[in-house]
Amino acid sequence: MTDEQRNLNKRQKEVLGAVVRLFVATGAPTGSKSVAGKLDESCSSATIRAVMAELEDLGFLTQPHISAGRVPTDRAYRYYVDWLAATTRLAPETQKYIEEFLGASQEMPEQLMGRTSEVLAQVSKYVGIVLGPALEENMLEHIKLVSLPDRRVLAVIVSKPDLVENKVIVLDEELTQQELDRAADFLNREFRGWSLSAIRVEIFQRLERMKNLCDRMVSTVAVLFQSGALGRDEMGRLFVDGTDALVDQPEFADSKAIKGLLHAFEEKVKVVKILSACLQTSGMRVVTVIGHENPEHEMQNCAVIVAPYRYRDRVVGALGVVGPTRIEYERAISTVDYVASLCSRLLSKS
């Protein structure tokens, strides 16, 4: 955004804010009379039309038809979020509802993740999404390895915060139950509290240092890592709720647009990429991706509002909502921020 675009004058900011709020509320192109009715100060429709024309020249508004009013562009929404959106708090009754809804899922973190996507959808009226912790980044609590027929191994991995993952893999070589027990004992003794990704780095470093020796136990663990029994998951589980809410939105009246978006949710990889990118900017409380800022074509009619959540002081996943670019930004941002903070507190109790 150029300095000219950033430094809008007071009147331009007022008009832009009014156009965005009206379009979010109605979904219809906004005319100067409607804007005049929303401004505190008396201002003629002619003056507002002139300001709207200026905003159109700057790339903030567009006019779908000559006789129609204006609609905000992606640039307008970005400016609104960065400079004009008011900081709001959820109503106390909404906070209480969320706390009670999520407080009922304290038994298992996976249940908490599922209920979190559900409550995000309910409160925002859009799609709720939650990316669970990737296995590789979980902190090892305990591991058990069980030999199965046909060179298969069952790995039962318990990690903080109280997550249990069962993985069955096929090895290129046969390992006895005794060898698997030794490997599990070694991992439980040496690496409790380490992430699986950190353990893998350490194991291969040790293997490199010991390449002239024959340490069967370390090489057994290395084989298990190479086979994928101990991680290698690039992403955690994705929980999605509320996709039906998008079908009735006018932005998705085109059946091709809604089919592409629903396919992206079903495929999940594209949504996970967006949430994973949020984890790379984990210093920010809430990240907003608007329209064509999204590299995924199917989601360029959408706004994605996400935030990281934590287990104690570690970022372990991300959650958020997906709606049309005409989303109610203040409410969506405050909802995501509140739920991420609450989810972090509930996880960190374990």
Average pLDDT of the chain is: 86
pLDDT higher than threshold 90 for residue 247: no
pLDDT-based confidence at residue 234 (cuts at 50, 70, 90) = low
For the stretch 167-209, pLDDT in tens is: 888 888 889 999 999 999 999 999 998 888 788 878 878 877 7
The reported pLDDT for the residue numbered 2 is 58
CATH code for the domain defined by 3-84 = 1.10.10.10
The reported pLDDT for the residue numbered 350 is 61
Other beta carbons within 10 angstroms of residue 124's beta carbon come to 24
For the stretch 141-155, pLDDT in tens is: 999 999 999 999 999
Q: Looking at the chain, which residues constitute the CATH 1.10.10.10 domain(s)?
A: 3-84
CATH code for the domain defined by 92-133+235-348 = 3.30.450.40
The reported pLDDT for the residue numbered 343 is 93
136-227 belongs to which CATH class? alpha beta
Percent of the chain surpassing pLDDT 90: 50
Percent of the chain surpassing pLDDT 70: 91
Q: Looking at the chain, which residues constitute the CATH 3.30.390 domain(s)?
A: 136-227
pLDDT-based confidence at residue 38 (cuts at 50, 70, 90) = confident
The reported pLDDT for the residue numbered 287 is 92
The reported pLDDT for the residue numbered 107 is 57
Q: Looking at the chain, which residues constitute the CATH 3.30.450.40 domain(s)?
A: 92-133+235-348
- The pTM assigned to this predicted structure is 0.79
For the stretch 69-111, pLDDT in tens is: 999 999 999 999 999 998 889 999 999 999 999 987 655 777 8
